[in-house]
A = this chain, B = another copy of it.
Amino acid sequence: MENFSEWFHNILEEAEIIDSRYPIKGMSVWLPNGFKIRKNILELLKKLLDKDHEEVLFPLLVPEDELAKEGIHVKGFEDEVYWVTHGGQKELNKKLAIRPTSETAMYPMFSLWVRSHIDLPMKFYQIVNTFRYETKHTRPLIRVREITTFKEAHTVHSTAKEADEQVKIAIGIYKEFFDLLGIPYLLSKRPVWDKFPGADYTMAFDTFLPDGKTLQIGTVHNLGQTFAKTFDITFETEDNAHEHVYQTCYGLSDRVIASVIGVHGDEKGLHLPPKIAPNQITIIPILFKKGSEEVIAKCEEIKLALELNGIRVNIDDRDIRPGKKFYQWELNGSPLRLELGPRDLKNNKAILVRRDNLEKIEIDLDSEYSEKINELFDDIYNNMKKTAWDKIKDSVIIIDNLKEVNNVIANGKVVSFSWCGEEECGKAIEEITDVDILGTQNENNEFSQNLNGKKCIHCENEAKYTGLMAKTY
């Protein structure tokens, strides 16, 4: 992929995902095909969350005084908030903010809802649109002014330990979700100067796009008691004392959808994991003058049989060359195509072609072919996931000298370095290199270096963390 940015722009248009010609910068229209992909992705997410979260829906608008209550928080958003000042021809008494995120909409209500320790924990989520007045260059799904798909979860706990535990649970849910989509990720604890405004600490997932930049695709925040104190959210303990609650929140956005497109796509176009593809298998009848009715009838029969097994199928029986259809459904990311012509019909066979590796597989139409196709879906998914993970693993380069940073970044890779973890030192590193620190690896995984005896790459004090640096979106 020569130019990812151009590729991404084109694929959104050609695969009819988003129409970005809407007459407001940074706001776009979800087209039917894009909407279906979005819906399938959200269904996977909801299934994970519904196990122990309750779905709710809060208003879009937040009164100015509520938004202003939490000073650190509002400071982080004040340049990005859209303000509603008029209703009809009249100026409003009190300005209303369009939510940039919903802490200040939700927490005044939480202070009414939480009464006793027996009410806790509470775990809510909502999927809504949020708004940021972005002054930087916008890009559909990645940097937008209307985030159309903002999933935000908010939890309330009676102890600090439980909130800390919830951060780990949320990370587990997000890992499972990204795994279902085959999206690889780097999980970092964000540097203190880059955490969510008002949070004690922020854990963040970044994925890696083909242009060598990382894209933040999910964050989990431990809010401690900061907001509880601001919004006076207290509970009665078992001993009849009154204490402030502990809170977490965690969010995902349209960027998850951008990363599915960007991570799996290739020169042929979109490449969708079978779980979320609107058309999991596309049937293309190969038609000649003679016998085309029988071929189409057989295709319809196969479609019905597959649908009975819960597979999403479409038939493309338009009167155009098969080659053109192959091209188009590869571009649309349909994971499998089934070709069936008069000779196949005679032999009661069909040809399957995999989108991931173009392998052709003959299937016997007398056999339990739905099962075979579901197995192929699993295989395609595993292959897509592995390919994506291999790429991100190959892209993280360990360096020993700060001078190497810009070279690695220029090569479209991610830098792994040993670090003391101190704010002053981190900021100096960012200034020297002009590259962002994603954060520290706090889990023992393939991205954690063995730090035994290592020194911080900059200040040469003892190294306490594996740090990651990358060119970011």
User: Which residues of A are interface residues toward B (Cβ below 8 A)?
Assistant: 19, 21-24, 27-32, 35-36, 38-39, 54-61, 63, 66, 78-90, 96, 98, 105, 108-109, 112, 124, 129, 131, 133, 135, 146, 148
Contact = CB atoms under 8 A, between A and B. Distances in A.
B23 A60 contact: no
Given A79-B88, A82-B87, A83-B85, 6 more contacts: A22-B59, A23-B66, A32-B54, A39-B55, A78-B89, A87-B133
Nearest to A129: B60
B109 A19 contact: yes
Contacts of A112: 19, 21
Chain A at the B interface: mostly helix, strand, loop or mixed? Answer: mixed
A24 B146 contact: no
A78 B86 CA distance: 11
Contacts of A131: 60
Q: Which 8 A-B pairs have the closest CB atoms?
A: A87-B133, A32-B54, A30-B57, A27-B59, A79-B88, A83-B86, A85-B85, A88-B133
Nearest to A148: B57
Nearest to A62: B24
23 contacts: A19-B112, A22-B58, A22-B59, A22-B105, A23-B66, A24-B61, A28-B59, A29-B57, A30-B58, A32-B54, A35-B54, A35-B55, A35-B56, A35-B57, A36-B55, A57-B148, A60-B60, A61-B146, A78-B88, A81-B87, A81-B88, A82-B87, A84-B85
Nearest to A66: B23
Contacts of A89: 78-79
Contacts of A129: 60
A59 B109 contact: no
A58 B428 CA distance: 44
Contact of A63 (B24, B83, B84, B148): B24
B35 A146 contact: no
A123 to B, nearest CB: 10
Contact of A29 (B24, B28, B56): B56
A100 to B, nearest CB: 10
A57 to B, nearest CB: 4
A429 to B, nearest CB: 30
A133 B84 CA distance: 11
